[in-house]
Structure 1
Amino acid sequence: MYDIVCSLVIYKNDRKQLLDAINSFLNTDLKVRLVLIDNSPNDDLIDIKKDSRVEYIHNPSNPGYGSTHNIAIRKYSGQTKYHLILNPDIYYAKGVIEDIISFMNGDENIGLVMPKVLYPDGKIQYLAKLIPSPYVFFARRFLPLKSLKKNISDRFELRFSGYDTIMEVPYLSGCFMVFRTEVLEQINGFDENIFMHMEDLDITRRCYDAGFKTLFYPNQIVYHDHLFKSFLTVANLKMYFTSAFYYYNKWGWFFDKKRTLINKKTIKAIDSAKRNK
Structure 2
Amino acid sequence: MRLSASLVLYKNEPNMVLKAVESLFNTPLEINLIVVDNSPSAELSEIFSNLSNLKIDYFYQDGRNLGFGKGHNLALSKIQNSDYHLILNPDVYFEPHTLIELIDYLDKNPDIGLIQPKIYYPNGELQYLCKRYPTFFLLFARRFIPQYLKGLFKDYLNWYEMQDTGYNRIIDVLYLSGCFMLFRKKYLDEIGYFDENIFMYLEDADLTLRMSQKYRTVFYPDVWIYHHWAKGSYKSLRLMLISIRSAFYFFGKHGWRFF
Instruction: State the superposition RMSD in angstroms.
Output: 1.5
**Displacement of 1:234:** 1.4
**Displacement of 1:251:** 1.1
* Counterpart residue number, 2:240: 237
* Counterpart residue number, 2:185: 181
Superposition map of 1:92-107 within 5 A: 92-107=94-109
SS in 2 for 1:172: coil
TM-score with structure 2 setting the length: 0.94
Quick check: 133-142 or 61-70, which moved more?
133-142
* Counterpart residue number, 2:39: 40
Paired letter, 2:138: V
SS in 1 for 2:47: coil
Paired letter, 1:147: G
Question: Does 2:70 match 1:67?
Answer: yes
CA distance in 1, matches of 2:154, 2:77: 40
Partner residue of 1:149 out of 124, 144, 153 = 153
Q: Using the aligned pairs only, state the percent identity.
A: 41
Question: Does 2:1 match 1:6?
Answer: no
Question: Does 2:60 match 1:58?
Answer: yes
Superposition map of 1:62-211 within 5 A: 62-76=65-79, 78-144=80-146, 145-209=149-213, 211=214
* Counterpart residue number, 1:267: none
CA distance in 2, matches of 1:248, 1:148: 25
SS in 1 for 2:169: coil
CA distance in 2, matches of 1:166, 1:46: 38
CA contact (8 A) 2:115 2:182 kept: yes
Paired letter, 1:170: L
Equivalent pairs, count: 253
Deviation digits for residues 168-187 of structure 1 (CA, Å, limit 9, x no counterpart): 01000000000111121112
CA distance in 2, matches of 1:171, 1:28: 26
CA distance in 1, matches of 2:136, 2:150: 18
**Displacement of 1:134:** 1.2
User: Please, which runs of 5 or more residues in structure 1 have no aligned partner?
Assistant: 261-277
CA distance in 2, matches of 1:149, 1:112: 30
CA distance in 2, matches of 1:183, 1:61: 30
Paired letter, 1:101: I
SS in 2 for 1:112: strand
CA distance in 1, matches of 2:249, 2:134: 14
CA contact (8 A) 2:130 2:219 kept: yes
**Displacement of 1:28:** 2.1
* Counterpart residue number, 1:266: none
CA contact (8 A) 2:32 2:56 kept: yes
| Shift >6 Å, 4+ stretches | none
* Counterpart residue number, 1:271: none
TM-score with structure 1 setting the length: 0.88
CA contact (8 A) 1:9 1:37 kept: yes
Paired letter, 1:17: M
Partner residue of 2:251 out of 248, 253, 260 = 248
CA distance in 1, matches of 2:142, 2:27: 40
Deviation digits for residues 80-113 of structure 1 (CA, Å, limit 9, x no counterpart): 0100001000001111011111110111110000
**Displacement of 1:148:** 2.4
User: Please, which runs of 5 or more residues in structure 2 have no aligned partner?
Assistant: none
* Counterpart residue number, 2:14: 15
**Displacement of 1:12:** 1.2
**Displacement of 1:147:** 1.9
Paired letter, 2:195: D
SS in 2 for 1:171: coil
Deviation digits for residues 40-78 of structure 1 (CA, Å, limit 9, x no counterpart): 1221111203233111110132221001101111221x4
Quick check: 44-53 or 123-132, which moved more?
44-53
CA contact (8 A) 1:140 1:152 kept: no
